Structure formats: C-alpha cells, structure tokens
Amino acid sequence: MRILSLFDCPLYDVKRLLPIIKEQGFNAVQISPLQHTKDDSSKEWWMLYQPLNFELGNKLGSKEELRDLCREADRYGIIIIADTVVNHLANLSDKEPLTPHPYGDRELLEDPDCWKIKAPITNWKDRYQVTNYCMGLPGLNPNNEKVQRKVINMLNEYADLGVNGFRFDAAKSIALPEEGCNFFPNVTYSLNRWIPIIYGEVLFADQELLDKYATYMKVLTTSDSYNKESVIKFIENKDSFLSKDLGWTKTWPKERITEEYRDLASHYPNTMYYARNYTDDWYEWQSPKVKEANKQYVK
C-alpha cells in the first residue's frame, strides 16, 4: 500500500486531487483529524492535535463533505484513512499544559479515572512513564470504559461516512494488553464493520515493541523491521518537517526525501509519503520519481 499524507488539507481539495493521486500510484490518502479543536480559527499546525472531544467536523470539512470525499474516492479505488487523536485532549494553556480545557468533553472532565497521571514523560525509555504519564498534553486513560466507548463511537461514525482506514496518533503511549491495558483489542474488535487498514504511530522502537503492537494493527514507524508486512515505513512526516523540537528533516531538500522514499519503497510494501505543507515543496509528491517509486513491486 502506498499512502499519501495530505496533512492539514481541506476535504474539498483532497477530493479535487483524487485523479492525480490515482495517477501517481497512491492507493490511500491519510487525512488530518476532523475532531473539534479548542481553536478552529488557529493557523498553528498542531492545533489539529488538540481536540476538545470526539465529535467530527472542523475547519477542514464537515461530515457531509467527508461522505462525499469517500464516495468519490471509492470511484478511484482509493482508501481514505482518518487520522485520530485518542491518547489525549486539548489543554487549558501553555502555562497549564496538563490541565484539560474546560470546554472539553464534559463526561470525561467529571471523571478523574478517565485521565492519566498528571505528570510529564521525562524518560522515553521507561514504558511505565510512556504509557501512564502525559506527553505534554492532558493524557486520557485508554483502559477506561468511558474513553473506549467514545473512541469506538467516533470510529464507527467515521466508518459510516465511508472511511476505510484509521491512524492512531501516539499509539506508543497507549499500553498493550500484556501491560494491563485492553484498549486496542477492545476498540478494534468493536467496530461495526471490517476496516481494511488500521495502523498506529510507534516511533523510535525496537523490534520487540514493534512486534507487540503489530499483533493488533500495522505499525507506522521509521524503525527498520524484518517483518516488512507488519509496518508502514516513512521518511518524513508532519512532526519531522514542522516541529521545532522534532524537526529532523526540515533542512533536507525535497530531492533527498524523494530519493530516500524511492529506496524505502523498493524494500517495503507499505509506505507513506508526506506532502510538505505551506511550501512549494508540497508539489513534490506529484513528481515522476515519486510515481516511479510507488509502482515498484516488493517481493
């Protein structure tokens, strides 16, 4: 599977681009989260990852626009993958980053058990911290029944609108069953219909951890894996290009990204190409070299 990540792209633009996406050899498009954010007028790219709740419809498009997009994508044989934020909700402010926003989901705000320990992760090699502390925003307790029910309802609504794939943001911070959390089996097995592609973001992980997450879904990662069918590999994403702290590819020329993507696509059957936001480099995904890379056959 060749996935195009059109981050922060309005749904009507994604729909308009479907013929080019198909011609370029992509068979899936990852769209940005459509959950309500704490400031829908903000131009900050990270605001899409500060949702107030699990309701759908924001500045990128409405539920009806999503339905129209999915119908049109079906005509081209393209899967629409929804990026979902299920590990945390929006904070109050930069001064109180771990305090939930007061306009957030009322049912969750009123139940302390719906939240992770109010402490920041300081050691990313400590699995207890990674799965029980907060990654800079108010973390949700994924083992809580209320949290799981709201996530399941959102995913089923996405599916009813025609979405055929999901990305779990920050999946590495959601514990696994062997760590005492039943989130992934409960959520993925509670969907109203079969979803062709589900993957979770698990960055900077060793083979053992990748294999554990791969029990429940495909794994979106930059890490190498001998189990090539279980992972979705990428060279660049929104964080590596836009983040002030994690932006390790922002100084790379677009030609380097494409060359490394071509090499990646020759070794892995599932890859993602990120369309660089807010720059002329955005058009690079339409280049002949990317098209050539997508049409490589991996044994």
pLDDT digits 0-9 by tens, 25-65: 999 999 999 999 999 999 899 999 999 999 999 999 999 99
Q: Which residues contact 258 (CB under 8 A, 6 or more apart)?
A: 284, 287, 289, 290, 293
Write down the pLDDT at residue 55: 98
Beta strand pairing call for 51-56 and 28-31: unpaired
Q: Is residue 19 very low, low, confident or very high in pLDDT (cuts 50, 70, 90)?
A: very high
126 among known catalytic residues: no
Confidence (pLDDT) at 299 = 56
Encoded tokens for 55: 């309701």
Mean pLDDT of the chain: 96
- Tell me what the mean pLDDT of segment 216-225 comes to: 96
2-84+163-294 has which fold?
A: TIM Barrel (3.20.20)
Residue 195: is its pLDDT beyond 60? Answer: yes
Tell me, what's the pLDDT at 297?
72
Q: Which residues contact 87 (CB under 8 A, 6 or more apart)?
A: 135, 139, 140, 142, 168, 169, 170, 171, 173, 174
Which residues are within 8 A (CB) of 255 and not within 5 positions of it... i.e. 6 or more apart?
none
- Distance, in Å, from the CA atom of 196 to the CA atom of 17, rounded to the nearest integer, reads 22
The pair of three-digit structure tokens given for residue 6, joined into one six-digit string: 């059109």
How far from 140 is each of 79, 80, 130, 264, CA to CA, in Å? Answer: 29, 26, 13, 34
Distance CA 207, CA 50 (A): 30
17 pLDDT band, cuts 50/70/90, is very high
Catalytic member of 83, 105, 157, 201? 201
Using DSSP's 3-state secondary structure scheme, residue 43 falls into coil
Mean pLDDT of 19-24: 98
Q: Given 157, 169, 236, 239, which residue is catalytic?
A: 169
The reported pTM is 0.97
255 catalytic residue (yes or no)? no
Whether the pLDDT of residue 243 is over 60: the answer is yes
For residue 202 the two structure tokens come to 């698990």
> Do 1 and 197 contact (CB within 8 A), yes or no?
yes
**40-51 confidence digits (pLDDT tens):** 999 899 999 999
Q: Is the pLDDT of residue 236 over 60?
A: yes
How far is the C-alpha of 19 from the C-alpha of 73, rounded, in Å? 9
Report pLDDT digits (tens) over 118-177.
999 999 999 999 999 999 999 999 999 999 999 999 999 999 999 999 999 999 999 999
DSSP-derived 3-state class of residue 247:
coil
As a whole number of angstroms, the distance between CA 68 and CA 257 comes to 32
Give which of 116, 153, 190, 193 is closest to 35, Cα–Cα: 153
What are the extents of the domains in the chain?
Answer: 2-84+163-294
